[in-house]
Amino acid sequence: MEFGRWIGENWFVLLQSLAIIASLLFTGISLRRDVKGRRIANLIDLTAGHRDIWAQFDRRPALARVLNPKADLTGKAVTDSERIFVTLIILHLSSVYHALENALSVAPEGLREDVKSLFSLPIPKAVWEKIKNLQDREFVRFVDRCLSREAASKGRD
């Protein structure tokens, strides 16, 4: 009886409260969907940047040595084109790293392995050693951790 009387006296306040709760739930669901959509959109943008950089590699035969695991840097130093290309890769990778650290994108599988394999090559390794002091510390630690996994896996073999 008391509950029925209370509802009779406060039905409008109850209705307002339910409407506020429903709108908050709707807003929360919408925000969650929006975040997921933005993360996917950011992944698409990062992928487009990746594609643009590597399209240069396909169009410019002079860059073929960048991925050569036997590139001889004593016989022929890193060229300006190679240095610029690897720097673009590093800048892109830094953007990807920061997007992932801030949960702004979906993490691609195998990123650490990709970093490790790239910076194990002579030219990317040489460029990295020259410009890593210009990168932020967290990104440098990330790359170094990826490379130390290489050293750890070599020690186990």
pLDDT score recorded for residue 1 = 65
pLDDT score recorded for residue 105 = 80
Structural tokens at position 6: 């209370």
Instruction: Provide the whole-model pTM.
Output: 0.75
pLDDT score recorded for residue 151 = 44
DSSP for residue 66: G
Task: Mark the ranges of the chain whose per-residue pLDDT is less than 70.
Answer: 1, 149-157
DSSP-H helix ranges across 60-107: 80-101
pLDDT score recorded for residue 152 = 47
For residue 146, give every residue at least 6 positions away whose Cβ sits within 8 Å of its Cβ, in sequence order, or none: 112, 115, 116, 119
pLDDT score recorded for residue 149 = 66
The three-class DSSP label of residue 153 is helix
pLDDT score recorded for residue 86 = 96
pLDDT score recorded for residue 155 = 39
